[in-house]
Amino acid sequence: MAFAVATGLGGCGQAAPSQGAARSLVLEKTIALPAVAGRIDHLAIDIEHLRLFVAELGNGSVEAIDLAKGQVAGRIGGLKEPQGLGYLPGRDELVVASGDGVVRFYKGGDLALAGALKLGDDADNVRIDPTTGHVVVGYGDGALATIDPAARTVRSIMPLGAHPEGFRLDPAHRRAFINLPGAGQIAVGDLDAGKVIDTRKAAHSAGYPLLFDPAANTVAVVYRFPARLVVADANTGRTLQDVGVCGDADDLFLDAKRQRVYVSCGSGEVDVLQASPQGYRRIDRIKTNSGARTSLFVPEIDRLFVAARASGGKPAAILVFRPDGAP
């Protein structure tokens, strides 16, 4: 999808559905997490066994949810601030990165501990490199570690200028795009060389979620101050679009089938933006729960999962949304 340059759009290009209009996301079910208190962080999926994993940071636990039954199927407890999750289908292992700086590996079947590595403080986001099968973890005052899950060893460490928040891999070009809000930068790293090859000034403050679209060769970042979605050329960093979105965003996903992006926000909303040659335009704003800022879109099963923390007398839950037209 080619984008025309569009900056400073403010409220322009925003649209909300009329009363009674079909919604772009339909709440299909709510899966209660009655034993969970506090903040919920990131999610991961096991497609083959239809299990959703939930990092319950405030609870010090990770839960496995059986999506077919719509209920909790297992739990890992005793963790310190579990944050990032990744699932390795070839090994049937769950990767958990925690605030204590430890990356732990659990067997998929019974969630038994299979191994652990100490990286440093604040092990956070996890990505799986589909080309190599390696696990990439952001941590500490500024680094990405590439881990061989079979050997349980760190293959390389990429130094960064600040703690990495949202980051995405570009396996085809062996790149990583990394949000560094503490430095006001977006870094581009060489995955094989383990070093930063470019840094770009952040468009606004507090950029957390980041998305790489390989078809359009663009990088999108959602900032919190102000609440804006900024789309840039992946190669040059040139801004293509700057548009307002919901507040306190923490996750951003591409629905390539529909050429849409989903932005989940702690303000209690999911913004749905549709791509066009003129850029992204908001076509819907879906109400969720206050503080429900983490999510996961799974194109293989065409569902968006939003993690809602306990609030207002309601228990924590996973909200399962079905895009319009999905079976």
**pTM of the predicted model as reported, rounded to 2 decimal places:** 0.94
pLDDT mean over 42-55: 98
Domain boundaries, the chain: 25-323
What is the C-alpha to C-alpha distance for residues 207 and 226, in angstroms, rounded to an integer? 10
Residue 116 has pLDDT above 60, yes or no: yes
The rounded mean pLDDT for the chain is 94
DSSP string, 116-169: EEE--S----EEE-TTT--EEEEETTTEEEEEETTTTEEEEEEE-SS---SEEE
Question: Of 180, 201, 181, 197, nearest to 189 (Cα)?
Answer: 197
Encoded amino acid at 160, one letter: L
My answer on whether omega of the bond before 226 falls inside 30° of 0, hence cis, is: yes
pLDDT mean over 148-177: 98
Cα 198 to chain centroid distance, Å, stands at 22
Please tell me what DSSP assigns to residue 21.
Answer: P
The SS3 assignment for 12 reads coil
pLDDT tens-digit map of 189-231: 999 999 999 999 999 999 999 999 999 999 999 999 999 999 9
Q: How confident is the model at residue 13 (pLDDT cuts 50, 70, 90)?
A: very low
Token pair 């559905």 is at which residue?
17
The SS3 assignment for 57 reads helix
The SS3 assignment for 187 reads strand
Question: Of 102, 186, 174, nearest to 140 (Cα)?
Answer: 102
Residue 6 has pLDDT above 90, yes or no: no
User: Which pLDDT value is given to residue 1?
Assistant: 54
- The 10 Å Cβ neighbour count of residue 294 is 25
Query: Cα torsion at 50, 56, 61, 62 (round to 10°)?
Result: 10
pLDDT mean over 248-261: 98
User: Which pLDDT value is given to residue 312?
Assistant: 83
Phi then psi dihedrals of residue 241, to 5 deg: -160, 150
The CATH code of domain 25-323 reads 2.130.10.10
Sign of CA dihedral 12, 232, 249, 302: positive
Q: How confident is the model at residue 18 (pLDDT cuts 50, 70, 90)?
A: very low
Terminal CA-to-CA distance of the chain, rounded, Å? 25
Q: How confident is the model at residue 7 (pLDDT cuts 50, 70, 90)?
A: very low
Question: Of 66, 79, 70, nearest to 31 (Cα)?
Answer: 70
pLDDT tens-digit map of 277-327: 999 999 999 999 999 999 999 999 999 999 999 988 889 999 999 999 898
